């Protein structure tokens, strides 16, 4: 644990989920028919599933005008992608606006590069059930994030956080 105090391992964002309100009622059938890369199966799910290639993302567009954008790798990309989807909807003739863009969840992964003894880590906030899942589930309270800590040293973080926070946490557990 000595040397890792100097170098906090970098964490990489893998996925960002955000929501935005387009503020107008949408006709999903219309959108599904006219837009490329859109799928709509009302019996299965009540939203149009649209994908764009540029920031590789997927959006769920609901008839109320609300939209969920997933798959982006950074906050800026997520916002850009959401704007692109709004643009597509706008081009189809709906008066789409871009209200309340909010990031709901961010998933990142990190590698501390040394094996971790999970039995030693178990304190109060953790759940470690080797029979159920090989990773320890650590629910940190201060920044509300959940970390999945594995024996190999890989850590998956999910929740609403910014890049400096997991560094603080890593310092805490070591």
Partner 1 sequence: ILDVLPRVTCPNHPDSILVEDYRAGDMICSECGLVVGDRVIDVGSEWRTFSNDKATKDPSRVGDTQNPLLSDGDLSTMIGKGTGAASFDEFGNSKYQNRRTMSSSDRAMMNAFKEITNMADRINLPRNIVDRTNNLFKQVYEQKSLKGRSNDAIASACLYIACRQEGVPRTFKEICAVSRISKKEIGRCFKLILKALETSVDLITTGDFMSRFCSNLGLPKQVQMAATHIARKAVELDLVPGRSPISVAAAAIYMASQASSEKRTQKEIGDIAGVADVTIRQSYRLIYPRAPDLFPADFKFDTPVDKLPQL
Contacting residues toward partner 1, per CB under 8 A: 115, 117, 119, 122, 124, 127-132, 134, 150-152
Tokens of 49: 């599933």
| C-beta of 35 vs 116, nearer to partner 1 | 116
Please report how close the Cβ of residue 152 comes to partner 1 at its closest, in angstroms.
7
12 vs 114, beta carbon nearer partner 1:
114
Q: Of 145, 152, 149, nearest to 173 (Cα)?
A: 149
Smallest gap from residue 135 Cβ to partner 1 (A):
9
Beta-carbon-side half-sphere exposure of residue 3 (alpha carbons within 13 Å): 3
* Residues forming a β-bridge with 57: 52
Compute the least distance from the CB of residue 71 to partner 1, in Å: 27
Report the nearest approach of partner 1 to the CB of residue 120 (Å): 10
Burial class (CB in 10 A: 0-12, 13-18, 19+), 36: exposed
**Least Å distance between CB 128 and partner 1?**
7
Which of the 8 DSSP states describes residue 73? S
- Identify whether the C-beta of residue 47 lies closer than 8 Å to the C-beta of residue 62: yes
Q: Which is nearer to partner 1, 69 or 149 (CB)?
A: 149
From the CB of residue 7, how many other CB atoms can be counted at a distance below 10 Å? 8
């Amino acid at each position: 644990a000595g040397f890792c105090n100097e170098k906090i391992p970098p964490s990489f964002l893998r996925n960002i989920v955000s929501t935005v309100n387009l503020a107008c009622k949408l006709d999903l059938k219309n959108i599904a028919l006219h837009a490329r890369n859109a799928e709509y199966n009302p019996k299965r799910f009540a939203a149009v599933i649209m994908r764009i290639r540029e920031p590789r993302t997927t959006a769920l567009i609901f008839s109320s005008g609300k939209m969920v954008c997933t798959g982006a790798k950074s906050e800026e990309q997520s916002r850009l992608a959401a704007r692109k989807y709004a643009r597509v909807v706008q081009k189809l003739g709906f008066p789409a606006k871009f209200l309340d863009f909010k990031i709901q969840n961010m998933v990142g992964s990190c590698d501390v590069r040394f094996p971790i003894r999970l039995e030693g880590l178990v304190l109060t906030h953790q759940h470690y059930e080797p029979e159920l899942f090989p990773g320890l589930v650590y629910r940190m309270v201060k920044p509300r994030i959940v970390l999945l800590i594995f024996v190999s040293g890989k850590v998956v973080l999910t929740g609403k956080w910014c890049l400096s926070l997991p560094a603080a946490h890593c310092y805490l557990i070591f």
